[in-house]
Amino acid sequence: MLTAPPVPPAGQHRTGRWPRPFRLLYAAALVHDLGFHVGQLAVPVLAVSLLAATPGQVGLLGALSTAAFLLIGLPAGVWVDRLPRRTVLVSADLARAALVGSVPLAWWAGWLSIEQLYLVVLLTGVGTVFADVAAQSYLPELVGRERLVAANSLLMGTSATLQIAGRGLGGLAVQALTAPVAIVVDAVAFALSAVILRRIPAGPPRAPSRQPAGGFGRQLGAGVRHVLGNPLLRPLAVSTAGINLTMQLTTTMLPVVFLRELGLGAAALGLFLGAGGVGALLGALTARPLAERIGHGRALWLPGLLVAPLGGLVPLIDGGAMLWLAGVGWLALAWRTGVGNVIGVSLRQGSTPDRLLGRMNATFRFLLTGALTVGAVVAGLLGQYADVRTSLIVGAVANGLTWLPVYCSPLRTLRRPPESDPNA
């Protein structure tokens, strides 16, 4: 049984248990993340090993997997604020199960192509847009705003643990069973997640006074203005988007480096990426005590400054000792990202009223995941027209500067984030 942190949920007495709806959301995330990390490794390995994809095609595949956030990311926030969030989550999981499941079916039938893979990752990304925005908007309703840091720490710590297990399992499954078989795990996980989410009790309808007012464009603009006009949220968005872009420059080209340049197998790639999961887990576990000791603002920028030199080890990846040193650098970068995710997401949720949660999260996802799309495109271009090492070098250097937007803002010395009236 999950045990609760010392702060009780809103409107409830102190209890030793999380509310049942959150436990179901957590269980669904547990299943979904395990399958997701297996599939995230298996898809590019499939493209490189079975479809002979070029670095440019691998970059395009990575870009298409997140392109939906650029295409519909902002409108999705308006729709999520209008629809029951549980319904959005269940529908998104079922759609993604069907899409991902089409890949191994096509392979078994003998007509899998890179074009189908492009289409599947693009449409799966559409489902991910709605699922991510709905989940982050649903959380304050399920646990109360006083528990957001603890709930996000638990969710992201678990996700990081599953990143270790999922990518390690994915590497072994690809090595032993081939990539298409490993992708089956992803499809089954989406379907099972939908079944679990369906068990969350439907909440009462939201009061009419809290429904978004105005036309579609006006509602969309309100979310954008809330993020970009807020002196705390704006630098957070710029910094985190920079982290995503620079990390993607490395992640996109790692399959090419491992499988072609170094001649290492998918299992080694999975273990290396799993080191990032270890770092993200440590970040999620240390985020809360770190923020309480040095303040939320310093916990957002100081880790970035500290790990910048270690991040420079990643482009030096090679066989032998350099593989281990690069793994240490990758772990350090992931630790910094894990800390920032817990504190940043909690800051966003706690400082936004309920009526804007969907649009605020959609605006952030548009910016942050859009940065992943740009990073994948740039990585593909650098890998195709320069070399894959150039992408790793540019990513490491630029990542070492991503703490500056927070440092040069009011967030720099913020002890605790201000809390918004949920009914404002």
- Report all structural domains of the chain as residue ranges with CATH numbers, in order of start: 20-202+218-413 (1.20.1250.20)
Average of per-residue pLDDT values in the chain: 83
pLDDT greater than 80 at residue 231: yes
pLDDT at 326: 94
pLDDT at 2: 35
Q: Which residue has the tokens 């576990």?
A: 285
Residues 360-372 have a mean pLDDT of 85
pLDDT at 393: 93
pLDDT greater than 90 at residue 290: yes
Q: Which residue has the tokens 């799993």?
A: 274
pLDDT at 4: 35
For residue 423, what pLDDT band results from cuts at 50, 70 and 90?
A: low
pLDDT greater than 60 at residue 355: yes
Number of other CB atoms surrounding residue 396 within 10 Å:
24
pLDDT at 300: 93
For residue 140, what pLDDT band results from cuts at 50, 70 and 90?
A: confident
Q: Say if CB 364 and CB 356 are below 8 A apart.
A: no
Rounded distance, CA 63 to CA 297, Å?
A: 31
Least confident of 12-21, 114-123, 364-373: 12-21
The encoded tokens of residue 275 equal 């080191």
Rounded distance, CA 310 to CA 203, Å?
A: 47
The gap from C-alpha 345 to its chain's centroid, in whole angstroms, comes to: 11
pLDDT at 42: 81
Q: Say if CB 355 and CB 81 are below 8 A apart.
A: yes
Number of other CB atoms surrounding residue 202 within 10 Å:
10
Is the pLDDT higher at 324 or at 376? Answer: 324
Q: Say if CB 304 and CB 292 are below 8 A apart.
A: no
Q: What is the CA radius of gyration of the chain?
A: 21
The gap from C-alpha 341 to its chain's centroid, in whole angstroms, comes to: 9
pLDDT at 3: 36
pLDDT at 11: 36
Q: Say whether 16 sits in a helix, a strand or coil.
A: coil
pLDDT at 418: 67
For residue 8, what pLDDT band results from cuts at 50, 70 and 90?
A: very low
Is the pLDDT higher at 68 or at 324? Answer: 324
pLDDT at 243: 94
pLDDT in tens, 297-332: 899 999 999 999 999 999 999 888 899 999 999 999
pLDDT at 245: 94
Q: Say if CB 243 and CB 340 are below 8 A apart.
A: yes
pLDDT in tens, 238-264: 999 999 999 999 988 888 888 888 888
pLDDT greater than 80 at residue 215: no
pLDDT at 298: 93
pLDDT greater than 50 at residue 50: yes
pLDDT at 157: 77
